[in-house]
Amino acid sequence: MIDFLKDSFDKLPISGDKKHVLNLPNTITMVRIGVIPILFVLLVNPGRVVSMIIAVLFILAAVTDLLDGYVARKYGIVTKLGKFLDPLADKLIVNTAMILMIPIGRIPAWIVAIIIMRDLAVDGLRSIASADDVVIHASTLGKQKTLCQVIAVSALLIHYPLFGADAHAVGIVTLCIALVLTIWSGVDYFVKFLKSP
Please give the pLDDT value at position 76. Answer: 76
C-alpha to C-alpha distance for 8 and 69, rounded to whole angstroms: 15
CB burial of residue 51 (10 Å; 0-12, 13-18, 19+): buried
| Residue 170, CA distances (Å) to 27, 49, 58, 165 in order | 33, 19, 17, 8
Domains of the chain in start order, with CATH, are 1-105 (1.20.120.1760), 108-197 (no CATH)
Please give the pLDDT value at position 8. Answer: 46
28: CB partners within 8 A, 6+ apart: 64, 67, 68, 71
27: CB partners within 8 A, 6+ apart: none
Model pLDDT for residues 35-53, shown as the tens digit of each residue: 889 889 888 888 999 999 9
Please give the pLDDT value at position 181. Answer: 95
pLDDT tens sequence for the chain (197 residues):
445 444 544 444 444 444 466 677 788 888 888 888 988 988 888 899 999 999 999 999 888 877 777 777 777 777 777 777 777 888 899 999 999 999 999 999 999 999 999 999 988 887 887 777 766 677 788 889 989 999 999 999 999 998 889 999 999 999 999 999 999 999 988 888 787 76
Please give the pLDDT value at position 13. Answer: 44
Left (φ > 0), alpha (ψ -120 to 50) or beta: where does 14 sit? beta
| Residue 161, CA distances (Å) to 42, 51, 150, 166, 167 in order | 17, 11, 18, 5, 5
Half-sphere exposure of residue 66: CA atoms within 13 angstroms, side-chain side: 14
Give pTM, 2 decimals.
0.81
